[in-house]
């Protein structure tokens, strides 16, 4: 008997093998890891966007009282340990007409600081003054006040305001701006603003305008800003005129006012806002600052401005 081996199958004729399906668990792992990473990235990005991780380290807290009564001889500069006088023209981002000069900012010898804006009748360049505490003094949380007599006139924009200390590195509006008091053209109406960043390159603003029973140019008044974590309160003579909390910011705006800010006084002339001076604008205009005072957070306690038990500023 002849025994023959069974025929060998040709590999080319073999049916294609069925690929092994990955297990359900492996499929979930394959899909879940990238999804998990994406969720973490989104959460971390959102936390950074809204807080800047400010909770990781200690918040800025200036614990020193400050009081400047602008005492000194007439014509002297304000305390150079606190103030710097800014000079120059160029419109200052608002197409303003004035050139800021050193001699437009001086003590009057009677316990006040005076910023003088001169608007020539012949149409030549107006001069005025602007000063800042940038790089010398700033604060995180607390209550800052100034007693000021404001000038009035078409094309005049006196202001007491704050800028975020980061303005030199992140620019405006990313650093934030708080306009404690501005009175464009007329002091019968006060305006108050917060400016901050929105999205990658945008900006947001919250604005408040108050019609007043008296003209603020008639006498001195006290203008106050109180910064608390996630909250900014502005008042005139202890009467609250603006109260903004972090959650009031329109999305995708960011709250940046828990960072340190420095103070500025300025008296602008002309520009996109409030408009140019005219024949009714006085030639000489003075913004007179009697004093500036700062109380740190641990001095003002937990009761916000306008709600104190003594009734100061109660509405």
Asked whether the beta carbons of 215 and 196 are under 8 A apart, the reply is no
Instruction: Report the DSSP pairing between strands 84-86 and 130-132.
Output: antiparallel
- Position of tokens 């979930």? 28
CA neighbor of 201 nearest in space, from 173, 178, 166, 162: 173
Query: What's the gap between Cα 72 and its chain centre?
Result: 31
**Alpha carbon distance 145, 68 (integer Å):** 11
Instruction: Report the DSSP pairing between strands 99-100 and 127-128.
Output: parallel
**Alpha carbon distance 19, 168 (integer Å):** 62
DSSP 8-state class, residue 225? E
- At residue 313, the 3 state secondary structure works out as coil
> Annotated catalytic sites, by residue?
177, 182
CA neighbor of 156 nearest in space, from 187, 132, 179, 131: 187
**Alpha carbon distance 264, 148 (integer Å):** 13
């Amino acid at each position: 008997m002849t025994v023959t081996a069974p025929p060998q199958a040709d590999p080319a004729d073999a049916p294609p093998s069925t690929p092994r399906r990955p297990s359900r668990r492996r499929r979930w792992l394959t899909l879940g890891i990238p999804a998990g990473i994406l969720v973490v990235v989104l959460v971390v990005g959102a936390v950074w966007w809204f807080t800047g991780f400010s909770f990781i380290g200690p918040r800025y807290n200036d614990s020193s009282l400050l009081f400047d009564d602008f005492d000194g001889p007439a014509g002297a500069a304000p305390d150079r340990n606190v103030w710097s006088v800014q000079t120059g023209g160029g419109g200052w981002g608002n197409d303003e007409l004035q050139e800021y000069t050193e001699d437009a900012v001086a003590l009057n010898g009677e316990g006040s600081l005076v910023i003088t804006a001169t608007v020539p009748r012949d149409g030549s360049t107006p001069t005025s003054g602007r000063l800042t505490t940038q790089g010398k003094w700033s604060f995180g949380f607390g209550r800052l006040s100034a007693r000021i007599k404001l000038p009035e006139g078409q094309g005049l924009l006196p202001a007491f305001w704050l800028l975020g200390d980061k303005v030199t590195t992140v620019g405006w509006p990313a650093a934030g701006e708080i306009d404690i008091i501005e009175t464009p053209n007329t002091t019968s109406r006060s305006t108050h603003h917060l400016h901050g960043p929105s999205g990658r390159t945008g900006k947001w603003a919250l604005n408040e305008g108050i019609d007043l029973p008296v003209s603020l140019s008639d006498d001195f008044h006290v203008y106050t800003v109180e910064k608390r974590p996630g909250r900014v309160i502005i008042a005139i003579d202890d009467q609250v005129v603006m109260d903004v909390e972090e959650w009031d910011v329109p999305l995708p705006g960011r709250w940046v006012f828990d960072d340190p800010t420095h103070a500025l006084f300025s008296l602008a002339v002309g520009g996109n806002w409030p408009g140019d001076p005219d024949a009714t604008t006085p030639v000489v205009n003075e913004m007179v600052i009697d004093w500036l005072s700062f109380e740190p957070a641990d001095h003002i306690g937990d009761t916000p401005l306008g709600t104190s038990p003594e009734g100061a500023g109660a509405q």
